[in-house]
Structure 1
Amino acid sequence: MTPLDALPDPKLLRLFDVLYNCRSVTRAAEQLGQSQPTISIWLARLREQLNDTLFVRTPGGMAPTPRADQLIGPCREVLESLRRLTASEPQFIAATAQRRFRLCVSDASHITLLPRILNHLRSHAPGIRLEAARIDGNTESALESGEADLAIGFVPWLGGGMYQQVLFEQDWVCLSNPKHATDGEPMSITRYRTEGHVQVSAGTGQKLLEAALTRAGIERRVMLELPGFLGLGMVVGSTDLIATLPRHIGQTLAAMHGLQMTDCPLAVDGFTVKQHWHARYHQDSGNRWLRELIRQLFQPPRLADGHA
Structure 2
Amino acid sequence: MKRPEKPRPDDLLLDVKLLRFFDVLYSTRRLARAAEQLGQSAPTVSIWLTQLREALKDPLFVRTASGMLPTPRADALLPTVQEALRALRALSSEPRPFEPEHADRVFRICMTDGGMLTLLPHVLMRLRKLAPHVQVEVIKLGSDTAPLLESGEADLAIGLVPDLDAGFYQQALFDQVWVCLVNPEHPRVRNRLNTDDYSLEGHIDIVHGTGHRMLAAALERARVSRKVFVELPVYLGVPAIVSSSDLIATMPSRTGHTLARSFGLNLFACPVPVPPFTVKQYWHERFHHDAGHRWLRGLVQSLFLEHVAEHPDAGA
Same topology, TM > 0.5: yes
Deviation at 1:108, TM superposition (A): 0.4
Identity %: 51
Paired residue for 2:45, among 15, 39, 43?
A: 39
Matched, 1:210 2:216: yes
Paired residue for 2:265, among 259, 271, 275?
A: 259
Aligned residues: 302
Q: Which runs of 5+ in 2 are unaligned?
A: 1-6, 310-316
Structure 1 residue aligned with 2:191: 184
Matched, 1:81 2:80: no
Quick check: 1:108–1:203 contact (8 Å CA) kept in 2? no
Structure 2 residue aligned with 1:306: none
Aligned equivalents of 1:91, 1:50: Cα separation in 2: 39
Matched, 1:11 2:17: yes
Deviation at 1:16, TM superposition (A): 0.5
Report matched runs for 1:147-296 at 5 Å.
Answer: 147-180=153-186, 182=189, 184-185=191-192, 187-296=193-302
Deviation at 1:74, TM superposition (A): 3.0
Report matched runs for 1:46-195 at 5 Å.
Answer: 46-180=52-186, 182=189, 184-185=191-192, 187-195=193-201
SS at match of 2:303: helix
The amino acid that maps onto 1:19 is L
Deviation at 1:75, TM superposition (A): 2.0
Structure 1 residue aligned with 2:31: 25
Quick check: 2:142–2:209 contact (8 Å CA) kept in 1? no
Deviation at 1:238, TM superposition (A): 2.8
Deviation per CA, 1:262-293, whole angstroms, max 9, x where unpaired? Answer: 22111112222111112222222222221111
Aligned equivalents of 2:273, 2:41: Cα separation in 1: 76
Quick check: 2:189–2:197 contact (8 Å CA) kept in 1? no
Aligned equivalents of 1:295, 1:182: Cα separation in 2: 38
Deviation at 1:183, TM superposition (A): 5.3
TM-score (norm 1): 0.88
Deviation per CA, 1:58-91, whole angstroms, max 9, x where unpaired? Answer: 2111122344334333322322221333333322
Aligned equivalents of 1:125, 1:297: Cα separation in 2: 14
Bigger mean CA offset, 82-91 vs 238-247: 82-91
Deviation at 1:294, TM superposition (A): 0.9
Deviation at 1:33, TM superposition (A): 4.1
SS at match of 1:12: helix
Deviation at 1:97, TM superposition (A): 1.3
Deviation per CA, 1:207-231, whole angstroms, max 9, x where unpaired? Answer: 0000011112221011222211112
Q: 1:55 to 1:72 in 2, by over 3 A?
A: same
SS at match of 1:141: helix
Aligned equivalents of 1:14, 1:302: Cα separation in 2: 56
The amino acid that maps onto 1:43 is L
Aligned equivalents of 1:190, 1:302: Cα separation in 2: 32
Q: 1:184 to 1:30 in 2, by over 3 A?
A: farther
